[in-house]
Amino acid sequence: MAEKKLITVFGATGLQGDSVVETFLNDPKLREEWAVRGVTRDVNKASAKELAKRGADVVSLTTWRQGDMNDTESLVKAMKGSHTVFANTNYWEACDKAGEVQQGKNLADAAKEAGVQHYIWSTLENVNKQTNGRLPDVYHFDSKAEVDEHVKSLGIPATLFLAGFYMSNFFGVDQVFRPVPPDNTWTMGLPMAPSVELPLFHTDGADKYIKAIVNNRHKLLGQKFLGATNYMTPQGMLDGFKTAFPKAGATARYVEMAKEECMDIYRNKGAPEYVALEVYEMFRFYEEAGYYGGASLGGTHALVEDPLTTWDDYLRQEPACAGLE
């Protein structure tokens, strides 16, 4: 029996990495061909222990010898022996553009030194460039895009994965869509028109895209791979909510927020001023240039084998919607 190839997944218990590890451990075909190494901040938390129990080699992100993103030598050790690496960074941990750029470059440098044969980098578009400098403050996009150029300059065999807009953002910490007092009317509020198209992405389905990238390596080296089920407008999502939950959705509405109203939400949560501005400009980018610039998702859908989660599917499993009629 041939020796298994090794895939190393950074952020193995995070929003994107978790499902990737799960699929490579559980998919019968992938399990025969691949061994899995998961890199995470805390190997002692329950989710990391569960991955180890199920067969993943779990290493720490905080131990210097095992994958500190701020130290290239330790990243080389974390990637040692890997055929494929799925790498991603988390801007929101420190909200530090320069720090994320450096971590991204460190990961790419380590991949080159470790001889990785397929480097899958989770990235986003360059908002500053695409808007000709009109929206210069969307750092969590631009930092990753800056790393793209470094990846290309190294000449490593790479695919750039661009996840779409997280469906969970509508109900998560940002509470874009929520019941508003005093009558608990379900209200979706964003600083953009309700007709803006968003490419929707379910974090629990990241594995489906990464599986497609791995299985189509020869087609996707040097390419961007867009991760989204479909384009949908906020109005379309609101209409979908009304259909799924006629009683709760009877009075549901969309509110196009003003700049200060949007920024105040983040200020009131204690976010720095530059972060509040960053979020506002992000939504303006979606309206002015488009999340993917209007690119077709056909190339993605032609290669993804597994069914993708739709907005209606997501509503049925979102905890905030549990019990709604």
Q: What is the pLDDT of residues 110-151, one digit of tens each?
A: 999 999 999 999 999 999 999 999 999 999 999 999 999 999
pLDDT at 241 exceeding the cut of 50? yes
Smallest CA-to-CA distance from 115 within 81, 161, 148 is with 81
pLDDT of residue 50: 72
pLDDT of residue 1: 52
Mean pLDDT value across residues 268-289: 97
Confidence class of residue 42 from pLDDT cuts 50, 70 and 90?
Answer: low
Task: Report how far residue 284's alpha carbon sits from residue 193's, in angstroms, rounded to the nearest whole number.
Answer: 9
Produce one character per residue of 167-200: b if its CB has 16 or more CB atoms within 10 Å, e if not: bbebbeebbbbeeeeeeeebbbbbbbebebbbbb
Q: Which residue reads 């210069």 in tokens?
A: 136
Produce one character per residue of 10-47: b if its CB has 16 or more CB atoms within 10 Å, e if not: bbbbbebbbbbbbbbbeeeebeeebbbbbbbbebeeee
Q: State phi, psi for 133 to the nearest 5 degrees.
A: 85, 0
pLDDT of residue 168: 95
For residues 313 and 237, is the Cβ–Cβ distance under 8 A? Answer: no
CA distances from 233 to 31, 153, 200, 224 (A): 38, 37, 10, 23
The end-to-end CA distance of the chain, in Å, is: 53
Residue 50 or residue 29, greater confidence: 29
pLDDT of residue 190: 97
Residue 243 or residue 52, greater confidence: 243
User: Is the pTM higher than 0.75?
Assistant: yes
pLDDT at 235 exceeding the cut of 50? yes
> In angstroms, how far is CA 19 from the centroid of its own chain?
12
pLDDT of residue 69: 79
Quick one: what percent of the chain has pLDDT higher than 90?
83
DSSP H/E element including 185: strand 185-190
For residues 227 and 206, is the Cβ–Cβ distance under 8 A? Answer: yes
pLDDT of residue 15: 84
Residue 43 or residue 321, greater confidence: 321
Mean pLDDT value across residues 3-24: 91
Confidence class of residue 62 from pLDDT cuts 50, 70 and 90?
Answer: very low
pLDDT of residue 113: 98
Per-chain mean pLDDT for the chain: 93
Task: Report how far residue 67's alpha carbon sits from residue 79's, in angstroms, rounded to the nearest whole number.
Answer: 8
pLDDT at 64 exceeding the cut of 60? no
3-state secondary structure of 195: coil
Residue 49 or residue 148, greater confidence: 148
Mean pLDDT value across residues 1-23: 88
pLDDT of residue 44: 67
Lowest-confidence pick of 47-51, 181-185, 231-235, 266-270:
47-51
pLDDT at 40 exceeding the cut of 90? no
DSSP symbol at 180 = E
pLDDT at 43 exceeding the cut of 70? no
pLDDT of residue 230: 98
Mean pLDDT value across residues 152-172: 97
Confidence class of residue 325 from pLDDT cuts 50, 70 and 90?
Answer: very high
Task: Report how far residue 248's alpha carbon sits from residue 172's, in angstroms, rounded to the nearest whole number.
Answer: 19
pLDDT at 165 exceeding the cut of 50? yes
For residues 234 and 188, is the Cβ–Cβ distance under 8 A? Answer: yes
Other CB atoms within a 10 A radius of the CB of residue 222 amount to: 11
